[in-house]
Each structure stands twice: as C-alpha cells, then as structure tokens.
Amino acid sequence: MNRANVIATLVTVSTVIQQGLTNPAIGFTAVLSKDTQLVNDEAIKYDNVLTNSGNGYDKWCGHFVAPTKGLYVFSCSVMATNRYHITVGIIKNGQSVLPVSSANTPWEATSRIVVLAMDKGDRVWVKRLAHDRNIQGHYNSFSGYLISTEK
C-alpha cells in the first residue's frame, strides 16, 4: 500500500469514527409479552424490550422520548385476538399521527410505518383508538429509530 492510500484510508476511518461519535445510534423495538386488554387513552406498554439504544423507550409508560432532534422512523404492528378488529394509533405529543387497524380475520397482523421530525423531548407512543380492546401478545410491536440528526 502506498503512502497516498494509507492517508486516504486513515481519513476515511477518522471520518467514520467522527460521524459515529457525533451521531450515536438511537433505536428501539418492544413487543407485548402476553395478551393484553387495553383501556381508553392510555399508551400501550410494550413490556418486552428487545433493543433500546439511546434509552429513549420507557416500558413503564410506553413512551419513546427523543433524546436528540432529528428525523425518526416509527412502526407499529397490531393483531387483535380471535376474529375481532381493533384500531390503535401512533401518537406524537398527544396528537394522533397514523391509525393502524387489525384485520377482521384471525391470526392476521397489520403494520404501518411513519417518518416524523422530532425535537429533543418530543414523545411518541401507541394507544387504542377504536373497536375491540384485546390484542394478541407478542404479535404486537412498536419500533423506532433515528435516521438523521438536525442541528
């Protein structure tokens, strides 16, 4: 390897490390560990946290709190029990952003994805909006991750 290639490699590695330090990984995935009966106007508390880089998701209240300003992707999957139908919503700071409705057939889940601009401290969660109250345990999930920071 010649000197120019070594310098180019060092510059590339330095840039990657610097970007990694200035843009830390932020992301979470949480699922329900058991069938759950939902109540009105409460966040669904996805209690089985699979990933929580950046510690933005709180399983005790079901909220994700943005640790930094940026552009985030959120997704939610929902499956009602038996042949019932349920609609939940992805909520940002108390406002419904995107409804997610389960199918009317048994064992069929539905999911949706949304990209949201978030300020530091903004909150996102999922709650029941309409129809049945019972959801099918580990087939229900909530995920989110940072795709770009804004300074």
Tokens of 113: 């994805």
Say if CB 133 and CB 37 are below 8 A apart. Answer: yes
- pLDDT confidence of residue 90: 94
Q: What is the DSSP string of 79-134?
A: -BSTT--EEEEEEETTEEEEEEE--SSTT--EEEEEEEEE-TT-EEEEEEEEE--E
Select the more confidently predicted residue: 14 or 150.
150
pLDDT in tens, 49-75: 999 999 999 999 999 999 999 999 999
Select the more confidently predicted residue: 108 or 5.
108
Select the more confidently predicted residue: 46 or 10.
46
Count of CB atoms situated within 10 Å of the CB of 145 = 18
pLDDT above 70 covers a percentage of the chain that reads 84
Mean of pLDDT over the chain: 83
CA distance linking residue 98 with residue 38, whole number of Å: 18
